[in-house]
Chain A
Amino acid sequence: MKKNNSLLNIWRIIYRIFLVLVFLFPIAMLVWVAFKSASDIALDILGVPKKWIGFENFASAIESMDFLNALKNSVIVTICSTACLCIFSAMAAWVLVRHKTKMSNFIFLLFSVSMLIPFQCVMLPLMKIMGRFGLGQFGIDLMNQPGLIMAYIGFGSAMSIMLYHGFIKGIPVELEEAAAIDGCSTVGIFFRIVMPLLGPTTTTVSIVNIMWIWNDYLLPSIVLSGKSNLRTLPLQTFKFFGSFTTNWGVAAAALLLIMMPVIVFYIIAQKQIIKGVVDGAVK
C-alpha cells in the first residue's frame, strides 16, 4: 500500500513537470535560438551553438524594429485610453444608474447590444470616415494618436460601462443625497464620493482594457496606417515579420523583447490581473 503511494507520487511529479515543460516549450525554443548566430542556426537550429554571440541578436532586433519608439507609442496609447475609459465610462454608468428614465434605459441597451458588433463590420466604414473623403474634407485629422485613443474609448466603453453599471447599482444613494444636502455639487459628489467607492471595479476595468488595447492589432493598423513613427508594438511586429523572416535569431529575440513588458506587468500585478480576468469574464 505504502509503496503504491510513493509510486503514484513520482508519477504525479513527472506529469506535472511534463505539463509545465509543454507550456514553456515554445518560449524556451525562442530563448535557445535568440542567442545563436545566423550561421549556427543555418547549420543546426537545435544544436549547441559553436560561437557565443551574447545579446547581439537583441541589439539588432531593437534597432531594426525601432523597439523603443514602438514601446513608447504603445505605453502612451494604452495608458491614455485606459485612463479615459475608466473616468468617462464611470461617469456615464453613474448617470445611467441614477437617472431612471426611458432615455437612460435605451442608451444602456444600445451600449449592451453594441458589444455584439464585430470589428470587421466597422472597419471599412471607419476607414472611409477618417480618411481623405470623410473628416479629411473638413480639415479634421484623426489618423493619429488622439484619434486612436478616441476610437478605443468608443469601442471599450460598452464593456466598461456594463462593469461599472453592475457595481454602482449596489451603492446606496443615501450617501450622495447627504452630500448634496451638505451643498456638494454634482461634479464634487461624483469625484469625491462615487469615484473612490468604485476602486475595485476600476481595477477590473483597467485590467480588461489594458490587456485588450496593448495587444490590439487591427484598429491601430487602420487608424495609424502610413504613420511609421506612431506604430505601436503589434503594428511594428507585423511590419517586422512581413518584411523579414530570414534571420530567425533576430526574429526570436524580437518576439522575446515584445513579450517582456507583458510578463513583467504580470509578475507585478498578478493578483489584480487574475481578479480582473475573472470579473471581466463573468459579467
Chain B
Amino acid sequence: MKRSKLTFWLFLFPCLLCFLGFVLIPTIMGFYYSLTDWNGVAKSPKFIGIQNYFAVCKDSQYWYSFAYTALFTICCVVLINGFGFLLALLVTKQFKGATFMRGVFFMPNLVGGLLLGYTWKFIFTKIFPATNIPGLGNWLSDNKTGFLGLLILMVWQMSGYMMIIYIAGIQNIPDSVMEAAALDGATGLKRMFKITIPMVAQSFTIGLFLILSNSFKLFDQNLSLTGGGPNHTNEMLALNIYNSAFCSNQMGEAQAKAVIFFVSIAIISIIQLTITKRAEVEA
C-alpha cells in the first residue's frame, strides 16, 4: 500500500514539479503582484491594495482594446466558422484535386502567427499600394482597414483548421441517412439544412469556442502585423497587457489587467462548459 503511494508521487513528479513551478506558483504570485506597486525593478514591491484595479478602470486605452477584441472575436467566430464549413462542404465532394485543395487550405494554419503577420504586413504595405487599384492602399496605416487586415489574416489562417474539424463531422454522417433523404426526394439545399447542419451541430460547438478563445487571446499576429499601431488603435487585449508591462514598465497595473483578462476567459469557458454539458444531456 505504501509502495503504491510512492509510485503515485514518483510518476507524477516531473509534470507536477514543472507545472507548479512554471504555472501554478507564478499565477498565484501574479494575483499578489496585481495588488502592489511593482515596476519590474524594485526588489520588494509595496502592497497598495486594489489601486491598480482602479487605475485600470480609468485606463480608456484598455477598455478600447477590450471592445476592439470583443468585436474582433465576434467577427472571427462568424466568418471563420462559416468559411471553414463552406470549404469543408466543397472538399468532401468527390472530384480530382480535392485532397490537394484540402492541403492548400490547411497549410497556413501550421505556420506560426508571427510569420503570417509579417507575410501579410508585406502584402498590405508593399503589394497593395503597388497595385494602384483604388481602395488598396497601405491598409495598416488606418484603424478600420487595419481591423479588416487582421480579420483577413485570421480568416485565411484559421478557416483551414475549422475545415478539418467540419470534415470530420461531415464524414461521420452515415451514408444511409443521405441516401434515404435522396430517395425521399430531398434536394441539395434541403438536405444541407435538414441533415448536414443538424448532424454536425457538435462540430459547430467545438468550432465556436475554439475560435472564440483563440481570437480573444490573439497576440502573435497582432504583434507582427501592426504592433497595435497606428497610435494603439489596433491594439488587442493581450498586446495591451504586453505593452503596458514592457513599454511603460507598469508591471503592477499590467498584472491587474492580466487578472481581468483571465477572469474574462474563465467566464467564457464556464459558459462554454454549461452549454456543452447541456447539449450532451440532450443528445
Q: Do A and B bind each other?
A: yes
Give chain A's interface residues, CB within 8 Å of chain B. 16, 19-20, 23-27, 29-30, 33, 44-46, 84, 88-89, 91-92, 94-96, 99, 104, 107, 110-111, 114, 116-118, 120-129, 133, 150-151, 153-155, 157-158, 161, 186, 190, 211, 214-218, 234, 237-238, 241, 248, 251-252, 255, 258-259, 262-263, 265-266, 270, 273-274, 277-278, 281-282
Main secondary structure of the interface of B (DSSP, over half): helix
A124–B23 contact, CB under 8 A?
no
CB distance from B69 to the nearest CB of A (A): 12
B15–A88 contact, CB under 8 A?
yes
Asked whether B111 is an interface residue with its Cβ less than 8 Å from the other chain, the reply is yes
A255–B110 contact, CB under 8 A?
no
Known: A24-B104, A121-B27, A190-B11. A262 touches B110 (CB 8 A): yes
Which range holds the interface residue count of chain B?
35 or more
Asked whether B114 is an interface residue with its Cβ less than 8 Å from the other chain, the reply is yes
Among A23, A95, A214, the residue within 8 A (CB) of B105 is: A23
**B266 to chain A: which residues have CB within 8 Å?**
116
B33–A125 contact, CB under 8 A?
yes
**B100 to chain A: which residues have CB within 8 Å?**
20
**A91-B105 Cα distance, complex, nearest whole Å:** 36
A23–B156 contact, CB under 8 A?
yes
Interface string of B1-25 (1 = CB under 8 A from A): 0001001100110111011111111
**A29-B224 Cα distance, complex, nearest whole Å:** 18
The chain B residue with its CB closest to the CB of A215 is B112
B130–A124 contact, CB under 8 A?
no
**A268-B125 Cα distance, complex, nearest whole Å:** 34
Asked whether B200 is an interface residue with its Cβ less than 8 Å from the other chain, the reply is no
Apart from A19-B90, A20-B104, A124-B258: 12 A-B pairs, beta carbons within 8 A: A19-B87, A26-B156, A29-B123, A117-B27, A120-B241, A121-B259, A121-B262, A129-B25, A217-B113, A252-B122, A274-B164, A281-B161
**A282 to chain B: which residues have CB within 8 Å?**
165, 168, 206
**A252-B122 Cα distance, complex, nearest whole Å:** 8
